Structure 1
């Protein structure tokens, strides 16, 4: 009998050598296949087959486990990406909503500022005073003497104006008289918002009625030569009451309300 000394120990060769693990597994598998083919599978076949781990027989379980792990990782990554996308969309929506709210608040503030400015401008306009004849001048002064006036002196001032010139309310108020006024001809008397009264005489036509409210600069009639006159002009008076004889200096009155005259 021949022996070899490759590892320092005697090792049988040929048919007397102990079969290796791979050979045993292969032989066992071949035997099971043969028994199965002939329909003879003993009661000891299953335990014999189960004696070897399934992973050593097929190698499939480790592969399946790796694939499951990768799939779980992919699913987790996809879920994280979806959450990140949803959070980004929510942040974008919140930012857009905040921008819209800010724009709406700004527009509201601007609108309210414009409304306040308009109200203030209107308030100032209603409190303002103007000349009864635009671009004219005083042709006859207050308290001028002469036989023309029944009282012996001029109770108002005369503005130079050709017949048909627009006559304006000098300020805001309410019309208390509109019609024939004797020596004043066609005349209009307005109770001003400050409690004083203004009169406009010798009009060729009247454009307002009693009880009507007027604003500064509003046309109330046209100048003319009606009543006791020698020519067309506008007679203007400032009074403390609506009655004749309560006159005050018209020039001082208009200047005290900011009219350049």
Structure 2
């Protein structure tokens, strides 16, 4: 018995005939139904479908990618700021250290300059000469004649001074005599550092001893009226030796060393 299909009775058959869209759809539907009936689609399709959620459907991947990029930028910026802060702190510390060092060097230079100035001032002071009586004047000159002096003339000069006036060493030197000197009364003789000698007579008291070193302006005693005198004053001599008779002009001697009289 032969059967015919109403839908395809008038269509040619053969291996080159292309299935229609309806046929393809029907076949696909039939295949899906068969797979569903056997359970294959349940075991294969479900995991496959679950494993591929589209990025454009969820939006999760782009968000994570953007968040990581921003975090990296923030981290990089923080690291850069930290480096900048450390560099600034290092520069500040270096500047402070340089300023401290500069101030220390300046202070050291100033200290050394002060010390040099002090040493120089002391050196000049030790080399200087002063008057034996501050603010006094010569009341009797050198080589003044008269019977008062055993040699017939004055071997030194007299400085006006009330009893008890401070008497000073005129320059640096070493005491070679300190005590009673006959007509000179209480006297002090000093060998000066330049090799000359100075004598201070008629003292009311003596404040130094033999062998003691003295400096310009140092008090060596007090003026008075001991020995062969008519009143208190200071008898001052400049000598080439420590002995009587080696006298030189004391005013010229002091002036030659810068003392104004």
Task: Give the TM-score normalised by structure 1.
Answer: 0.80
Higher Cα Rg: structure 1 or 2? 2
Q: What displacement does 1:209 show?
A: 1.1
Q: Which runs of 5+ in 1 are unaligned?
A: 1-11, 17-39
Matches of residues 60-71 of structure 1 in structure 2 within 5 Å?
60-71=60-71
Q: What displacement does 1:152 show?
A: 2.1
Alignment partner, residue 198 of structure 2? 198
Secondary structure, aligned partner of 1:42 = helix
List structure 1 segments (4+ residues) > 3 angstroms apart after TM superposition: 47-50
Secondary structure, aligned partner of 2:189 = strand
Q: Give the Cα separation in 1 of the matches to 2:75 and 2:42.
A: 44
Q: Give the Cα separation in 2 of the matches to 1:118 and 1:41.
A: 110
Alignment partner, residue 111 of structure 2? 111
Is the aligned partner of 1:157 residue 2:173?
no
Alignment partner, residue 21 of structure 1? none
The size of the alignment, in residue pairs, is 223
Alignment partner, residue 74 of structure 1? 74
Q: What displacement does 1:58 show?
A: 2.6
Alignment partner, residue 243 of structure 1? 243
Q: Which digits, 9 at most, give the CA deviation of each residue in 1:136-166, with x for residues without a partner? A: 1112111222222222222111111121111
Q: What displacement does 1:46 show?
A: 2.8
Is the aligned partner of 1:146 residue 2:152?
no
Q: What displacement does 1:63 show?
A: 1.2
Matches of residues 45-64 of structure 1 in structure 2 within 5 Å?
45-50=46-51, 52=52, 54-64=54-64
Q: What displacement does 1:54 show?
A: 4.4
Two-structure CA RMSD over aligned residues (Å):
1.9
Q: Give the Cα separation in 2 of the matches to 1:234 and 1:214.
A: 19
Q: Which digits, 9 at most, give the CA deviation of each residue in 1:189-232, with x for residues without a partner? A: 11111111100001011111112111111111111111112221
Alignment partner, residue 132 of structure 1? 132
Task: Give the TM-score normalised by structure 2.
Answer: 0.80
